[in-house]
Amino acid sequence: MKKKIVGIIVGLSLVGTLYAGDYQSKYAAHATASAVNFPASRGSIVVKALHAESDKAAGVAKVYARTGSGVTVSSANDAGTTILVPNVSAQFVATDLIAYQHADGTVDYTTVASTNTTVSIVLNDAISQAGTAKDRVYELSQQGQFDVAAATVSYIGEAVFTTPNDSPLRVLVDSTSAGYTTVTVLTDQ
């Protein structure tokens, strides 16, 4: 009996360690489009605080996450625009929103310019650093929206938004000439 209890406690302790997650914050201040990008982790990313300002009457915070599955690149890519990645079922097509996630967690957001048969895609922006064979490519779609308008707003709570598992998160606030956003998340939930 004693062994069982000890085992349960040790087990719970390990589970707590494995799934504790991390709080992370990101901030962007740009004239017309302030965006922050968080890398995918094993579980969901939960937005705990979204604070934003815009000077645009129709200003909104658009929230993006993966649509479909993330795909591992087929080989290490140079820091360019042509990305070797399986595209057998034409998962990626021109104008798709893309998060290229490096193995170190760096996320490059861009769009697809064109696709080259089933073995590569061409991005509209070069990736920011040389890649590795472990990098992942995620197609994104808008999965949430919060009103900002020409104002400063805060959305704070236990779960303002959650991504699917294994999904990057992008929050974009549009503005006319002045805006910013601060986003805090908890990962691996």
Partner 1 sequence: MKHLKLPMILALAVPMITSYAGNWESKVSTAQTNSSVNFAARDGRLVIKSLHAESDKVAGVAKIYGRSGTVNTVTTAPASGATTISVANVSAQYVANDLIIYQHSDGTVDYTTVASTNAATAIVLNAAISQAGTAKDKIYELAQLGQYDVGAATVSYIGEAIFATPNDSPLRVLVDSGTNGYVSVAVMTDQ
Supply the DSSP symbol for 5: H
* Interacting residues of 59 by C-beta distance below 8 A, sequence separation 6+: 148, 149, 150, 151, 173, 174, 175, 179
Closest CA to 40 of 62, 71, 73, 78: 71
Closest approach of partner 1 to the CB of residue 111, in Å: 27
Q: Hunting for tokens 């909104």 — which residue is that?
A: 60
Closest approach of partner 1 to the CB of residue 141, in Å: 26
Q: Nearer to partner 1 by C-beta: 95 or 154? A: 154
Closest approach of partner 1 to the CB of residue 123, in Å: 27
Q: Nearer to partner 1 by C-beta: 71 or 173? A: 173
* Cα distance between residue 46 and residue 184, in whole Å: 9
Q: Nearer to partner 1 by C-beta: 137 or 183? A: 183
Q: How far is CA 29 from the centre of its chain?
A: 18
Q: Nearer to partner 1 by C-beta: 2 or 89? A: 2
Closest approach of partner 1 to the CB of residue 46, in Å: 9
Closest approach of partner 1 to the CB of residue 100, in Å: 22
Q: In what helix (H) or strand (E) does residue 28 lie, and over which residues does it extend?
A: strand 23-29
Closest approach of partner 1 to the CB of residue 51, in Å: 5
- Tell me the residue type at 96: D
Kindly state the tokens that stand for 182. Answer: 């601060």
CB environment 54-84: b (16+ within 10 A), e (fewer): bbbeebbbbbbbbbeeebebeeebeeebbbb
Q: Nearer to partner 1 by C-beta: 65 or 186? A: 186
Q: Which residues bind partner 1 (CB under 8 A)?
A: 2, 5-6, 9-10, 12-13, 16, 20, 22-27, 29, 48-49, 51, 53, 152, 154, 156-158, 180, 182, 184-186
Q: Nearer to partner 1 by C-beta: 15 or 93? A: 15
